[in-house]
Structure 1
Amino acid sequence: MAAFGKEAALILVDVQKAFVEIEDAGRRRNNPQAVANMARLLEAFRNRGLAVFHVRHASKEPGSLLRPERSGYEAIGEAAERADEPVLVKHVNSAFIGTDLEQRLRDGGYETVVIAGITTNHCVETTTRMAGNLGFDARLVEDACYTFDRVGHSGEVESAEAIHAMTLSNLDGEFARKETTETVLAALRHSAAA
């Protein structure tokens, strides 16, 4: 079993109320337990004194629910940051572009990044790809992220489950390793016992 020590950091990507508002407006998503799983990961990392980085998207697009002055910009309560936890603000898909995330990870000696958040096939995927390309041991927690149904290029509706699964397939083994909340929690327990 893998173990996560002090070299591991949790990165929560765009866990923001805009996505709750999108769902409330009728968009269907997958992984209904995802936010609860993010909260479980957050609690476990906090309890072990491990690093946590919150990433928030501040859209510059007119009308975006993720604009800083709108309610959708705020963090979802269960996975919100504490006063002593850094919040990195980005304006593009990758949490590494326009932020000091890479420098913070390097300075802290964090080699393993455990990634969760919203949405799987946008900012979570882009951040995960870049983490892998930068040489981090990226672990994407498949049941602690989600996406929405969307109309594909053919005009047909593609299910959130299919989009999520394809994104995981594209990333696993090439840019990251898939994890579940349970495998991460087990690895943390194993580390604490060692």
Structure 2
Amino acid sequence: MPQLDPAPALLLIDLQQGIRDLDRPRNNPQAEQRIGQLLAYWRAHEWPRVHIRHVSRQADSVFAPGQPGALFQEALAPMAEEPVFDKNVTDAFCHSGLERWLHVRGIRRLVIVGVASENSVEATARSASCLGFAVQVVADACYTFAKSDYCGRPRSAEEVHDMAMANLRDEYAEVLATSALLGCARA
């Protein structure tokens, strides 16, 4: 009997209180709700879930160890059996042991959700693709914040997010919506 491909791992990136509490314009106000839907679906099917936590090296950061901002958002917090990988750079694979954890379990497919779209989500998806993983990024289960571009022009959170998704689409990942992913998963 042929070996069946394991279910994809759901990577939940930087869903911490400090990022949720930022007082800046953001996109996808329903992202946490969609992430919760996906997390519940993965848990119900007992598929692999991996939580990525940003731990800052700067003592005054909201993401420094011991700060409330470093804690996971309660509704999306890992269960005791769900692994947590800490990172202190944008890429969840860099110096974290994540790649080895996935390889040991034969996991070759990843579904990525979280924050920030153009930062840790994009960096992690690019690395995952370069490492040979099949990657899906759930666009409406990711979000980011307004910021200025390289030339100093203000860009809305939606523009920043859309460009991040465009950067990933086709070359590094399949970019899709929660409804499309859950529709495929149920088929």
TM-score (norm 1): 0.91
* Equivalent-residue separation in structure 2 for 1:151 and 1:62 (angstroms): 26
Aligned: 1:120 with 2:125: no
* Equivalent-residue separation in structure 2 for 1:68 and 1:125 (angstroms): 24
* Equivalent-residue separation in structure 2 for 1:184 and 1:80 (angstroms): 22
The SS at the match of 2:121 is: helix
The SS at the match of 1:116 is: strand
Aligned: 1:100 with 2:97: yes
What residue in structure 2 maps to residue 21 of structure 1?
Answer: 21
Letter in 2 for 1:33: Q
* Equivalent-residue separation in structure 2 for 1:92 and 1:119 (angstroms): 13
The SS at the match of 2:10 is: strand
What residue in structure 1 maps to residue 6 of structure 2?
Answer: 6
* Equivalent-residue separation in structure 1 for 2:126 and 2:25 (angstroms): 25
| Contact 1:58–1:73 (8 Å) recurs in 2 | yes
| Contact 1:114–1:141 (8 Å) recurs in 2 | yes
The SS at the match of 1:135 is: coil
Equivalent residue in structure 2 for 1:131, among 118, 125, 128: 128
Q: Within 5 A, what are the aligned runs for 1:74-113?
A: 74-113=71-110
- Structure 1 unmatched ranges of 5 or more: none
Deviation at 1:134, TM superposition (A): 0.5
The SS at the match of 1:89 is: strand
* Equivalent-residue separation in structure 1 for 2:97 and 2:111 (angstroms): 17
Report the identity percentage.
Answer: 36
| 113-122 or 57-66, which deviates more | 57-66
TM-superposition CA deviations, 1:77-102 (whole Å, max 9, x none) = 22110011001111111110111111
Instruction: List structure 1 runs of 4+ shifted beyond 3 angstroms.
Output: none
The aligned length equals: 183
The SS at the match of 2:21 is: helix
Aligned: 1:175 with 2:157: no
Deviation at 1:8, TM superposition (A): 0.9
| Contact 1:36–1:78 (8 Å) recurs in 2 | no
* Equivalent-residue separation in structure 2 for 1:46 and 1:53 (angstroms): 11
* Equivalent-residue separation in structure 2 for 1:32 and 1:134 (angstroms): 31
Aligned: 1:70 with 2:70: no
Deviation at 1:65, TM superposition (A): 1.1
* Equivalent-residue separation in structure 1 for 2:59 and 2:70 (angstroms): 14
TM-superposition CA deviations, 1:1-20 (whole Å, max 9, x none) = xxxx6331100010011112
TM-superposition CA deviations, 1:129-161 (whole Å, max 9, x none) = 000000100000000010000122322211100
| Contact 1:7–1:109 (8 Å) recurs in 2 | no
The SS at the match of 1:35 is: helix
* Equivalent-residue separation in structure 2 for 1:104 and 1:47 (angstroms): 22
* Equivalent-residue separation in structure 2 for 1:7 and 1:19 (angstroms): 29
